[in-house]
Each structure stands twice: as structure tokens, then as C-alpha cells.
Structure 1
């Protein structure tokens, strides 16, 4: 019952914020529709509705083409005001408003009812995007990943590959959904890609790494994008007294083939060789010294 009340609270909180957009921080994008009003001498000189082109331009009365994409509304007002003041009016005032948002797009995949790309009409947060995807599946995992400024993603497989090689923002779903900690309901940026893994034990290797041998806490650990062999050993409590850190092995299974990667973590510690990035499902074995 407690979890149900928390979820109801989160739903209504998300719904209440659905129309809110922080226009002071919103950056104009292609296909947005803007209203541009120009005033001078206390009189409205011109008001037009313009579309931001795919090249990021708008056509402004008196001055012609102006780059809008990537600017905030205040920055665009300044960009228009300068030429107007220089060539046409004394102390002109410019007011720009967004009439329609068309550049706020997000991609969500994984354990949601309707994965895919969504176009929003205002700034949004994690819960609002999940609501647009009609909610989470019962077998969702405890962590969601947010990829930012990554392009060329069109399928869930693309997303899985991308989180292995790119930095991600992690959303703790246990804290957010089960405990109602709204600090984990992060604000999304247009273009963000959200991936919510399933907690299916059959697919556990997609999210886990295994650290074995002469470490203080051998076991199974959550994979984190960007994790290295040394970081995994530190996560497992560090090395035991008789660990042979010069002969560490990473066992990796990909496409039905097993690969063994040898790494000298003593040289990594000393900065003599770079650490090795690991992948989900990797088994890291730290052997015992021969002495």
C-alpha cells in the first residue's frame, strides 16, 4: 500500500509539471515555432510567427536571416536587437516566445511498455518520459541509464552498445520509485537517451561483472560504463595479501567465443601501462602468487 501511494504521488507530481518549461535555460532547436515581436518608440513595429529551419535559421523583419538554433530566448532577443539598433531604430525592444516546441525529442527503451522516440512540447523529467512510454514493466531493474549527446541511436541494441563505451547518468529506480526520493527524478535535456534494463536473471550478464580469486570480497557486481579492471578489483575490496596482481586475467565471452585478456595491474598502479576497460559479463580473475 505504501508503494502504491508513493507511485500515485509521483504520477500526479509528474503530471503537474508537464506543461512547465524553463524558458530561461531552454535552447531553441530546429522546427521550433517562435513568435518575434519588435517594439520601438513605445509602438509595436512588427510581430511575426517564424519556423526555425533545419539549418537553425529564422527570417526576422528588417534584418533577414538570423541563427536561432542553440540560443536561449534571451540570447536570440539580443542577437536581433543589435542589428535593429544599429541600422533601424533607437532603443528597440525584442520579445521572443516559443509557440510550439518541436526539437524536444527523447528516446527510451528497455523495460517500458512503449519504447521508442518521443517528441515533447516542453522541458521534461525522467518520470514524465516514463509516463509517455506508458510506464515501467514489472521486471524492470533497479538502475536506469541516461546517455547524453550521443547520436546515431535507433534501436535498443544500439543503446546497449553505447552504454558500454560512453559515460552515462544513472537513475536509482529503487530510491525514486520505492522510496519517493525526487532528487533522482532528473531533468532531461533534448536528445537524451534513456535505457531501463530488465532485471531478468537470464540476462544478468548484461548488467554484471564477476570478480574472483585473491580479492577481499569476491562476487558479482553491477557493471558501470567506463569501469576498468583496476576499478573492478577496488570495488571487490582490493587485493588479498597473496594476490598476484601481475597475472590478472579477464575472461570475456562474445558471440559464442571466449577471449582471455591478460593484464599486469602492478604496472597499471605504477602508471607504466594503461588500465583496461571491461565489458558487462566479464570475469576478472586475480590468481594467488606462486611464492
Structure 2
């Protein structure tokens, strides 16, 4: 059952998405040029512009610089690349040249957002992103979101490979952002500038305790264990996340163990019938345990 929205992100906040947050760029790790980025290079000499070109970084990390030829750009900051280009230009082509280099289009800026947003997942941005810009890209925060966002540095690769958010939170110390001030009150001092590779996690309001923002799958599945809760996750989906049913599984006798306010409820469900479309699936809640018993045969 869809809950009636309790909160809508004000239009004003969307207009402020790209406003620089109150965070010194000196504190942000220098951006490293990546594959498919587009760079604009302008060469000056003798007080005049000598050449201007847009250069696309190849899949191997190279750019073709006028007068010089191939230069390795991937992994360098723009000041480092400027220095690398300036030396041969000064030595072989121009007297006291100056160059201006900037990233025109970013194509290696990747961020992952998980939890209480409309469309969680991996996003590629064409400009450096603020926290609000990423939330907007993911369709906005859900009405039932919590008031804290957790930011994990350099973690998108692990998430894209299927790493559990709870495991990452246990291994790394996240930054914490007050979403109540940012989203509800419009305080842009909380709108942090993200770094490429960041993972943003927004738990549900009723699951602010990170240990309760997960579900459990045990029994006759291929990969029993702890999995991140996502809004809309069902019992069958959870079993698919756990690798599917094992050879001796009895999905027709699946059970969901749910604890609420100290009471335990057991929900029996025939997942074979769910797969056939004969009965509806059961939507899970944070902390639910899905049990798949062994067949009697």
C-alpha cells in the first residue's frame, strides 16, 4: 500500500542544487582525469592565442595534444597535465608559452546512492556533484527517509560489484550529513561536495539504527546471509539476491520472521505459487528474516 507523501522537496531547493556548498575546495581531493573526459586546451604565445582544441581522453587514458602528439592524461590532475604539456611546448615550439586547460565534460565521475531514494544505483555525472544533486538524480528522497545520510569515500567499485552496504559501513568510517537541515530547512551548508567514487546511503526513518537497515535470508539458498534492505524488496526478490534456491529447497514452505515492538510474527508463504503468479509476494520490512526450509523428499 502506498503511503501518502509527507514531504516534497521544495522547488527552491532544486534551483539551489548546483550552488557551491560551504566546503572549501582545498579540502576536496584534486580531480583525477579519467577515460572519456573531454578537456579544453588553449595555447598562448607572443600575447596571442595560438591554438584551441577539445581533447577526448581515450579508453587507454591518452590525449592527442596539438604539436606534441600522444600524452598520458588519465590519473593526472589538470595542473599536473598542464605542466606535462608545457615542457615540450616551451622546449620545441614556442617561446614562453602559456596554456589554459580545464575539464569541459566529465565522464568518469561515478557515484553510488543507496537506500531511501526513488531510484538507487550507480550514476555517472558530467560535472562535480553535490549531495543534493545526486539525490535529485536518483529521483529524490522517499518521504519515509531518515534524517541522516552516510557518505563512504572511494567505495563505488565495491558497491557495483555487489558488496553489501552494511559490510562497507563496518569497514569504513562514514561522513554523516544532517538531512533534516539540508532537505527540510534548506540549509545549504550541509550540501557537501561529493568526490568521485563516493557511496551515499540514506536509511529509512524507522531504520536509523544501521543494524536494522538489512534483511536476513537463511536456509536452502545458494548464498544465505545478510542483505541490504531496499524499499519495495519482496521475499522472492530477497531469495534471488541470495543466489536463488538450492537443490533441496522447499520454497512452498517459506517463512518470514518479523519482529515488531518486541513481538514476533511468522508469515508463511508459498514462493512457488508466487513465481507462477498465483498469489502475491510479501513486501519485506527492515530486520525481516526469510527462511527457506529443506524439502522432505
TM over 0.5: yes
**Separation in 1, partners of 2:213, 2:158:** 23
**What's 1:200 paired with?**
206
- Against the structure 1 CA distance between its residues 57 and 153, is the aligned structure 2 distance closer, same or farther, given a 3 Å change threshold? same
- Contact 1:109/1:156 (8 A) holds in 2: no
**What's 2:15 paired with?**
12
Unpaired stretches in structure 1, ≥5 consecutive residues: 209-255, 257-280, 282-291
- Against the structure 1 CA distance between its residues 204 and 32, is the aligned structure 2 distance closer, same or farther, given a 3 Å change threshold? closer
- Considering only aligned residues, what root-mean-square deviation do their CA atoms show, in Å? 3.3
What do residues 242-273 of structure 1 show as CA deviations (whole Å, max 9, x unaligned)? xxxxxxxxxxxxxx9xxxxxxxxxxxxxxxxx
The partner residue of 1:46 within 51, 58, 62 is: 51
Q: How many residue pairs are counted as aligned between the two chains?
A: 204
Range 150-159 or range 185-194, more displaced: 150-159
What SS does structure 2 have at the residue aligned with 1:137?
coil
The partner residue of 2:125 within 104, 120, 134 is: 120
What do residues 41-69 of structure 1 show as CA deviations (whole Å, max 9, x unaligned)? 34444333221123432121222232323
Shift of 1:207: 5.7
- Contact 1:126/1:187 (8 A) holds in 2: yes
Task: Give yes or no for the alignment of 1:171 onto 2:177.
Answer: yes
**Separation in 2, partners of 1:73, 1:200:** 44
- Against the structure 1 CA distance between its residues 123 and 202, is the aligned structure 2 distance closer, same or farther, given a 3 Å change threshold? closer
**What's 2:89 paired with?**
84
1:254-265 mapped onto 2 (5 Å cutoff)? none
The partner residue of 1:71 within 56, 59, 76 is: 76
TM-score normalised per structure 2: 0.59
Shift of 1:200: 3.4
- Contact 1:143/1:171 (8 A) holds in 2: yes
- Contact 1:6/1:180 (8 A) holds in 2: no
Unpaired stretches in structure 2, ≥5 consecutive residues: 1-5, 215-256, 258-286, 288-297
